[in-house]
Amino acid sequence: MDNAAYYRLAEDKRYYMDFTGCGNTLKMVQPQVLQLIMDSLRYWVIEMHVDGFRFDLASTLARELHEVDRLGAFFDIIHQDPLLSQVKLIAEPWDVGPGGYQVGNFPVLWTEWNGKYRDSIRRFWKGDGGVVSELATRLAGSSDLYQHDGRRPYASINFVTCHDGFTLQDLVSYNEKHNDANGEGNRDGAEDNNSWNCGVEGPTDDQNIIDLRERQKRNLIATLLFSEGVPMIRGVMSWDNPKMATTTPTAWIMT
């Protein structure tokens, strides 16, 4: 009904500004937009009894004019709300716009997907040099990211893989991405995945490489489970067994 009020538009008003990679971006300076978001969140808590939210591309919610503002109106309203300030608030702390990578910069009360943890753990088990010091920091709860504003290690949502990019099997099987089947010419997806194929690109019958890949997967999972913070494990439900089938094939388990 009011496109210009709800969405960030380019100088040519026929086009949207896109900080999300999804084609458009909500205009967070508009009271109507903030009211819509807050009413929706309260509905899910009060009526549907959810105990928290994970905000995809959460840096977009902090863009009031152009730059990311960690003290934006959205965060102020969340913190002042007697209901929403008490639920779990999990940020994917980046978007695709300039300055969008904000790991460690979200306000108190928020936890964050720790992309630096993911990259550090992958690089260490890949065999990169010069990463032991950072690895120690990530294992101990990433105090360099969260301690400055009083947040504890549980502000760090630790993960090795998620719904974006390589699975755990991909991570130990490929040096490069191979997104060929969808007709996009392998243009989609991140180029830098910090992966190692263990000697052969893709599937193999070499038992030594298979054993190495299995050991690498155990190394990655064990590191995740023994790190300070909240471990997040990407799981894909089986569609072959009707008892295991769900309406959503990807689940996130946070303990």
Q: Which residues are catalytic?
A: 56, 92
Please list, in sequence order, all residues whose beta carbon lies within 8 angstroms of the beta carbon of residue 221, skipping any fewer than 6 positions away: 160, 168, 233
Q: Tell me if residue 91 falls in helix, strand or coil.
A: strand
DSSP string, 132-156: HHHHHHHHTT-HHHHGGGT--GGGE
Name which of 37, 29, 35 is nearest 5 in CA terms: 29
Long-range contacts of 49-52 (CB under 8 A, 24+ apart): 50/87, 51/87, 51/88, 52/87, 52/88, 52/89, 52/90
* Whole-number Å distance between alpha carbons of 4 and 18: 14
Terminal C-alpha separation, the chain: 42
